[in-house]
């Protein structure tokens, strides 16, 4: 297995500029304090204080599993906020972003690659991330194959097929695309045939079942699937492992009242994971608490990758 630092290699090779100056919110939002997040409206008519809070976790293969995983946390949020809290299954990153932009989604976990788009186009205000007991956090992008593929290294993908998840995904598309172009001079559609599975779970299952010869995935998802015995370690060969990226960011819609946002924040940071389904699921990838995050800092490398890929935060 090869472990490479993506920012030191792919990003520096592409002579990136800092992405901070390129990032901008949609015109419907303001950022008077310069924290790169949509401000909470000052006009009371623009504020929202719904009787039911709708929560969505980043798209997964089986949303019903995660509805159960999150239920104890959502019950805790309901107690802290005094609101009903409803789990909303989403089938794509785009649908999740659109739901928040339209005011139908109030609290969410957006995956790494979707975070900047959700912030820019949906007024998402990330506030928390899962972390280990020692405060460390993140996951690595892996390029994987199956043992019978005949692929021994990343160069072996050339001329064949490679699965990505979705174009908004950091580890499922943007980071591996930047890597392949910068370090291996391989461009999708020219040097290999890209296919899109829609989700990390689908890509992982696709490789395990030999539907895809190779795929780019988040290894935290693979780890949890192995722990749930959905797949086994021996079904994969890892061709590449990146540096550590920030994982799913959890936060709120910008137009919730400041009092409600404070209560939701409290629900994240005083939730006791001990003995919960959340602990059982996410301890498989070394996560056991929520920690506070800063979007400008934590997602700097992701915005740099977006700039590398020529990503425009189109909010139409």
Structure tokens at 261: 């946002």
SS (H, E, C) 31-53: CCCCCCCCCCCCCHHHCECCCEE
Quick: pLDDT tens for 161-200: 999 999 888 899 989 998 898 889 999 999 999 999 999 9
59 with 97: CB under 8 angstroms? no
Q: Give the whole-angstrom CA distance, residue 153 versus residue 188.
A: 17
Quick: pLDDT tens for 279-303: 999 998 889 999 999 999 999 888 8
Beta strands in 156-264 (DSSP E): 161-164, 193-196, 214-218, 237-245, 249-253
What pLDDT score was predicted for residue 61? 67
Which 8-state DSSP code applies to residue 84? E
244 closest CA partner among 285, 202, 186? 285
214 closest CA partner among 145, 151, 141, 166? 145
Beta strands in the chain (DSSP E): 52-56, 84-87, 107-110, 124-131, 139-145, 161-164, 193-196, 214-218, 237-245, 249-253, 289-292
Q: Which residue has the tokens 């039911």?
A: 52
Q: What is the pTM of this model?
A: 0.79
Domains in the chain, CATH or no CATH each = 6-11+139-245 (3.40.190.10), 15-136+246-308 (3.40.190.10)
171 with 221: CB under 8 angstroms? no
Residue 2 has pLDDT above 90, yes or no: no
Quick: pLDDT tens for 10-68: 434 333 333 333 688 999 999 999 999 999 999 999 999 999 999 999 887 677 889 99
Q: pLDDT-derived band of residue 1, with 50, 70 and 90 as boundaries? A: very low
Q: Is 124 helix (H, G, I), strand (E, B) or coil?
A: strand
Q: Give the whole-angstrom CA distance, residue 223 versus residue 285.
A: 6
277 with 69: CB under 8 angstroms? yes
26 with 98: CB under 8 angstroms? no
**Residues near 262 by beta carbon (within 8 Å), at least 6 away in sequence:** none
Structure tokens at 31: 């950022």
């Amino acid at each position: 297995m090869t472990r490479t630092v993506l920012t030191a290699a792919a990003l520096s090779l592409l002579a990136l500029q800092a992405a901070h100056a390129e990032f901008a919110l949609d015109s419907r939002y303001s950022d008077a304090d310069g924290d790169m997040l949509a401000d909470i409206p000052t006009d009371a008519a623009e504020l929202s204080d719904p009787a039911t809070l709708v929560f969505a976790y980043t798209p997964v293969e089986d949303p019903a599993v995660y509805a159960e995983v999150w239920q104890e946390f959502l019950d805790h949020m309901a107690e802290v906020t005094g609101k009903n809290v409803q789990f909303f299954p989403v089938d794509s990153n785009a649908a999740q972003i659109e739901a928040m932009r339209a005011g139908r989604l109030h609290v969410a976990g957006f995956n790494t690659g979707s975070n900047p788009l959700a912030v820019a186009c949906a007024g998402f205000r990330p506030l928390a991330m899962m972390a280990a007991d020692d405060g460390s956090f993140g996951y690595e992008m892996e390029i994987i194959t199956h043992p019978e593929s005949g692929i021994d290294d990343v160069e072996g993908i050339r001329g064949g097929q490679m699965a990505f998840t979705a174009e908004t995904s950091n580890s499922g598309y943007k980071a591996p695309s930047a890597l392949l172009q910068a370090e291996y001079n391989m461009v999708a559609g020219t040097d290999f045939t890209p296919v899109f599975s829609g989700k990390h779970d689908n890509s992982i299952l696709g490789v395990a079942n030999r539907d895809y010869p190779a795929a780019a995935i988040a290894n935290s998802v693979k780890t949890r699937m192995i722990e749930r015995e959905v797949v086994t370690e021996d079904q994969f060969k890892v061709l590449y492992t990146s540096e550590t990226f920030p994982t799913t960011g959890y936060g709120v819609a910008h137009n919730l009242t400041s009092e409600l946002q404070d209560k939701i924040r409290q629900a994240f940071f005083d939730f006791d994971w001990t003995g919960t389904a959340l602990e059982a699921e996410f301890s498989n990838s070394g996560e056991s608490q929520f920690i506070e995050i800063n979007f400008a800092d934590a997602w700097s490398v992701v915005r740099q990758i977006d700039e590398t890929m020529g990503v425009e935060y189109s909010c139409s």
